[in-house]
Amino acid sequence: MKFLQSINNYNGHGRTLLRSVGRRYYAVQTEEYSRRNYANNVSEYNTVVGSLTAQRRHFLLRDAYDDMMLDGVQPSRDTFHSLVAGTMKGGRLQDAFFFKDEMKAMGLLPDVTLYNLLISTCGKCKISGHAIQILEEMKRNEVKPTGQTYICLLNACAATGRLNQVYAIVRDMTAAGLGLNKFCYAGLILAHKNKIPLADDAASRIIELVEQSKGWSSAEPTGPTAENVMISVSPEELFNIPTAEYINRRGGYVDKRLTVYHVAFQALADLRNSEAVETLLKMLDRDNCCPDVFITLQVMRCYLHSGDLERGYKVFQDFLDSGRPPFVEVYTTLVEGAMVGHTPKGMQIAQDALVDMTSRNVFLTARMGSDLLLVAAREKTGGYTTANYLWDLMQARRYVPSQPAVEAYFDGLKEREIPADDPRLRKVIEILDSFPRPGGRP
């Protein structure tokens, strides 16, 4: 076990070797085994799987499963549900199908809950063809699809813009006596937005669907099932709704009653259609509802990416003046949108926002900082002050930016007259030298 763990812990390079060894049993001293082993039975392994998923370390789920096999622990049906739920959240389609095959090999036939998770994973990975094949497999295995199955499939097809298939699923649901709920309308909106080529009336169709959704009904509850609660999967996650990542945030971040509005605002922001966004805002006001944080971000993003810095900044300032918590995403949305085109005014707005954010003790995560640095580092003219400020913020927090961000920042420094002994330049070179290079380790 010690040898296997040392292989497995060597930067992941031993994983292939670990799996090639096979499921064997290795004799180790009892005291050494107890000290190093992190789980001893199926209940403890289920806890480990749940913990890895909660930490978003989905890439380790298959390694935990390998350890489970090496320890001779028999997975239960709940274990496989948790494993596939974790791979679904991480968008790891190959691992999801691997666990399905392992489940069948152990004599456990996949049930409707597992099939729903597989279809959802296909949608998250934008491979709708596989999702349709899974439905066919369900029928062959005489597993009866539920309303959730059809909604998962609808949203999987919507992710790739397969509008005809989406409407065919709607017809099948209607024929089966299943009413359309808010997640169905969300899928219809996404299908129109993702259709290639984009229809000229896509924005108007999205607004029509929002209006139609106000009379939605459902033959089944829209909340999570007992099985989904056990594996910590919300309906928003299962159906790949854009708010899935934020659904448990507090402070009025997401109002669950506005699911259709959430999807519509995000779709129109992606389309950069400011006029349609304003129409939606009026509809929201007529419904006596106020924009939550997620909707505010989409409105701001639409204005900024359309080049309207004034209105985008006004949305930002109005939000801060409202007294609501200064969420870091409000700042990152303004900064990222203001840097579009790298105009002098936009770069100044971005830097001022970062300074204000820091003064309020609101901090970027490593991922947020890397994403913003990657954009700021591509500034070709100007003093490069925004990129430098972002770099300094990340260094102060001891974050290591992503390799693309560091490379872009390095390229930007090289284009300017920077002394060879400049502290930033020296640190960038040091970090670049620590990254793995193509063909092997540095």
Domain ends where: 27, 46, 74? 74
Contacts of 435 (CB under 8 A, 6+ apart): 403, 406, 442
Q: Report yes or no on 230 lying in a domain.
A: no
426, pLDDT greater than 80: yes
pLDDT at 206: 98
Report the pLDDT value the prediction gives residue 217, as an integer from 0 to 100: 53
**Residue 92 counted as domain residue:** no
Residue 422 lies in a domain: yes
**Over residues 178-200, mean pLDDT:** 95
Is position 442 within any domain?
A: yes
Count the domains in the chain: 2
pLDDT above 70: percentage of residues in the chain: 87
Measure the CA–CA gap between 330 and 332, rounded to whole angstroms: 6
Q: What is the pLDDT of residue 3?
A: 36
pLDDT at 24: 42
Q: Which of 39, 74, 109 is the last residue of a domain?
A: 74
Question: Is 343 within a domain?
Answer: yes
DSSP string covering 122-153: HHHTT-HHHHHHHHHHHHHTTPPP-HHHHHHH
Please report the pLDDT score of residue 249 as a whole number.
85
- When pLDDT is cut at 50, 70 and 90, the band that residue 251 belongs to is confident
- pLDDT band at 5, cuts 50/70/90? very low
Domain that holds residue 63: 1-74
Residue 216: CB atoms within 10 Å: 15
Mean residue pLDDT of the chain comes to 89
pLDDT for 227: 64
The two tokens of residue 328 are 């870091």
- Tell me: the pLDDT tens digits for 253-310? 999 999 999 999 999 999 999 999 999 999 999 999 999 999 999 999 999 999 999 9
Which of 74, 100, 134 is the last residue in one of the domains?
74
216 pLDDT above the threshold of 70: no
Give domain status of residue 2, yes or no: yes
Q: Looking at the DSSP assignment, which residues form a beta bridge with residue 36? A: none
- Give the pTM: 0.87
Is the pLDDT at 9 greater than 80? The verdict is no
Q: Quick one: average pLDDT of 36-57?
A: 92
In this predicted structure, which of 25-34, 106-115, 139-148, 414-423 has the lowest mean pLDDT? 25-34
Q: Answer whether residue 127 is part of any domain.
A: no
For residue 308, tell me if it sits in a domain. Answer: no
